[in-house]
């Protein structure tokens, strides 16, 4: 069975981190998002097809050096094609029932149970569903039992929402759905393909699940994803290999990558430091994401910041709600 990962976006909301790394390769609790998605798949999924547009070479290089225990096929999406267009673009590699994953979502979904429910119901499409407190920001399902009757994309008000069940971004699909998607066109599976399937009498099954669900696409949700993964692992702090801690303390939770150096009187709170970060003495890092090979000098403080790879934060500099990137960063 095949799993298709949609990994084509530029990750603009996570800039400047994504100027030098595609979003699906950003590390959550020191493991790239793509790897976490692949590792969550049941053994039945023995081939992974990855649809890539942005920074294709980085993803090719990653899988050239890492064995994920399954066949990996990487398909270039030369121009952005939307969620359905990207699926159509890999159609020649699909041989049967397949599972679609969004390359920036981590969750507690039991994928084997999702596949089993799809088969038991004889559905054409089965969507994982997540209960949300505010339906205005999501695609919301109008349900008849466990069948999806209607797809309401981002209702304007709560009253217009037929339920609190949102599209969670993981689908089990039959190959026939590919016939509903035009080739080489920008097509949304949520706005175009699923309504077309329902209009033609297709059987769409909803599969609610509990636990956690997080879209890693913004700095705040990227941090939240790290917190969830730590909590699932039963820990609050993670330090990577060959990291030297000379006196840092960690509040609430913290993730520190490999080959980092942390000086005396350093406080790290609800923050993620990527590999190779060097932190001086008497430094505060709070609610921030620090890119690879960043150097933070003594007496600095960073709160609600995102710092691009390779940057240097000067001694005594106080930064709040700043995205720090080189002037030459890609626009």
In degrees, rounded to 5, the angle at the alpha carbon of residue 58 between the alpha carbons of residues 57 and 63 is 95
Q: What is the pLDDT of residues 229-249, one digit of tens each?
A: 999 999 999 999 999 999 999
* pLDDT score, position 161: 84
CB 230 within 8 A of CB 29: yes
* pLDDT score, position 329: 58
Q: What percent of the chain has pLDDT over 70?
A: 99
pLDDT level of residue 210 (50, 70, 90 thresholds)? very high
* pLDDT score, position 240: 94
Q: What is the pLDDT of residues 103-142, one digit of tens each?
A: 999 999 999 999 999 999 999 999 999 998 888 878 888 8
Domain at 236-324, CATH homologous superfamily: Hexapeptide repeat proteins (2.160.10.10)
What residues contact 120, with CB distance under 8 A and at least 6 apart?
none
In degrees, rounded to 5, the angle at the alpha carbon of residue 234 between the alpha carbons of residues 231 and 236 is 65
b/e code 66-98 from CB counts within 10 Å (16+ = b): eeeebebebbebeeebbbbbbbbbbeeebeebb
Architecture of the domain delimited by 2-214 = Alpha-Beta Complex (3.90)
Domain ranges of the chain: 2-214, 236-324
pLDDT level of residue 40 (50, 70, 90 thresholds)? very high
CB 195 within 8 A of CB 151: yes
Q: Is residue 323 classed exposed, middle or buried when 0-12, 13-18 and 19+ CB atoms within 10 A define those classes? A: middle
* pLDDT score, position 294: 97
Mean pLDDT of the chain: 92
227 backbone φψ class: left, alpha, beta (φ>0; ψ -120 to 50): alpha
* pLDDT score, position 226: 96
Q: What is the pLDDT of residues 288-309, one digit of tens each?
A: 999 999 999 999 999 999 999 9
Name the β-bridge partners of 72: 48
End-to-end alpha carbon distance in the chain: 39
CB 307 within 8 A of CB 288: yes
Name the β-bridge partners of 320: 303
* pLDDT score, position 11: 82
Q: What is the pLDDT of residues 47-95, one digit of tens each?
A: 999 999 888 889 999 999 999 999 999 998 888 888 999 999 999 999 9
Looking only at the bridges linking them, the beta strands covering 204-208 and 71-76 are unpaired
**Residue range 255-279: average pLDDT?**
97
Least confident of 94-103, 115-124, 179-188: 179-188
Residue 331 has pLDDT above 60, yes or no: no
Residue 314 DSSP class: P
CA 127, 112, 124, 152: dihedral to nearest 10 degrees?
0
**Residue range 165-175: average pLDDT?**
94
Q: What percent of the chain has pLDDT over 90?
A: 78
Q: Return the higher-pLDDT residue of 30 and 157.
A: 30
Name the token pair of 183: 């080739």
Q: Mind giving me the DSSP string for 225-275?
A: HHHHHHHHTT-SEEE-TT-EESSEEEEEEEEE-TT-EE-TTEEEEEEEE-T
Residue 330 has pLDDT above 60, yes or no: no
């Amino acid at each position: 069975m095949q799993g298709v990962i949609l990994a084509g976006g530029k990750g603009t909301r996570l800039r400047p981190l994504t100027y030098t790394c595609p979003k699906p390769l950003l590390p959550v609790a020191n493991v790239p998002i793509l790897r976490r998605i692949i590792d969550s798949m049941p053994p039945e999924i023995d081939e992974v097809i990855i649809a890539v547009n942005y920074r294709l070479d980085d993803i090719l290089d990653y899988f050239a050096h890492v064995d994920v225990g399954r066949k990996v096929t990487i398909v270039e999406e030369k121009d952005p094609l939307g969620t359905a267009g990207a699926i159509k673009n890999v159609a020649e590699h699909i041989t049967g029932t397949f599972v679609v994953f969004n390359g920036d979502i981590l969750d507690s979904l039991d994928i084997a149970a999702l596949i089993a429910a799809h088969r038991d119901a004889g559905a054409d499409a089965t969507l994982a569903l997540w209960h949300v407190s505010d339906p205005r920001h999501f695609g919301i399902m109008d349900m008849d039992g466990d069948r999806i009757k209607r797809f309401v994309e981002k209702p304007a008000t709560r009253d217009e929402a037929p339920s609190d069940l949102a599209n969670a971004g993981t689908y089990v699909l039959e190959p026939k759905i590919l016939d509903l998607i035009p080739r080489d066109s920008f097509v949304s599976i949520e706005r175009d393909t699923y309504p077309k399937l329902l209009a033609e009498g297709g059987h769409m099954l909803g599969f609610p699940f509990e636990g956690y669900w997080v879209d890693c696409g913004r700095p705040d949700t990227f941090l939240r994803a790290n917190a969830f993964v730590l909590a699932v692992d039963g820990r609050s702090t993670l330090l990577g290999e060959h990291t030297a801690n000379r006196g840092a303390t960690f509040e609430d939770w913290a993730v520190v990558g490999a080959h980092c150096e942390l000086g005396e009187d350093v406080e790290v709170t609800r923050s993620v430091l990527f590999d190779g970060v060097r932190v001086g003495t008497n430094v505060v890092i709070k609610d921030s994401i620090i890119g690879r090979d960043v150097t933070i000098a003594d007496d600095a403080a960073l709160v609600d910041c995102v710092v691009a790879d390779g940057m240097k934060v000067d001694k005594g500099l106080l930064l709040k709600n700043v995205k720090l990137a080189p002037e030459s960063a890609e626009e």
